[in-house]
Structure 1
Amino acid sequence: MAQGANSAAVKKLQQTLKYCYNQNIAIDSDFGPATKTALRNAQRSEGITADGVYGTQTRNTLIWWTGTTTYNCNSIELPVRLA
């Protein structure tokens, strides 16, 4: 998944970037330049390739937002694949 995508999966990624990685981005389901930059920042913080593209390595490494509060970030694989 990369810039240009628009889906519920992008929304979940944006929630994760905003709430678990403190990125100041809109949650609008649109993978635009701000989401790409936020993803690169999260990838850097996790020590993985910071290419701004959501793939297997990113999915398996990010700490995921799993709830309705900022305190629900877990290092689990989501039940729905986002890639």
Structure 2
Amino acid sequence: MANHKSALKRIRRNEAVRIRNKYQHKTMRNALRKIRTEEDKKAAETLFPTVVSMIDRLAKRNIIHANKASNLKSKLSKQIAAL
């Protein structure tokens, strides 16, 4: 168990950050799933900027790796172009 006040605070903070990161990552995955199952090209194109901004935000905060973000955006744009 932690002995210092700052260590106890760090433990609480880490848990709060972990939960927030998990929530944001899951939200991004759900948005990806929604845009991948979209049949209408126009609807997919309107969703695309919001999903890309989610991906970029997660990559900036190191929740997902930058290369993973690039791969996701690339695959998504290819799929939308093919609709």
Normalised by the shorter chain, which TM-score bucket? under 0.3
Normalising by structure 1, what TM-score? 0.28
Normalising by structure 2, what TM-score? 0.28
Q: Which has the higher helix share?
A: 2
Bigger Rg, which one: 2
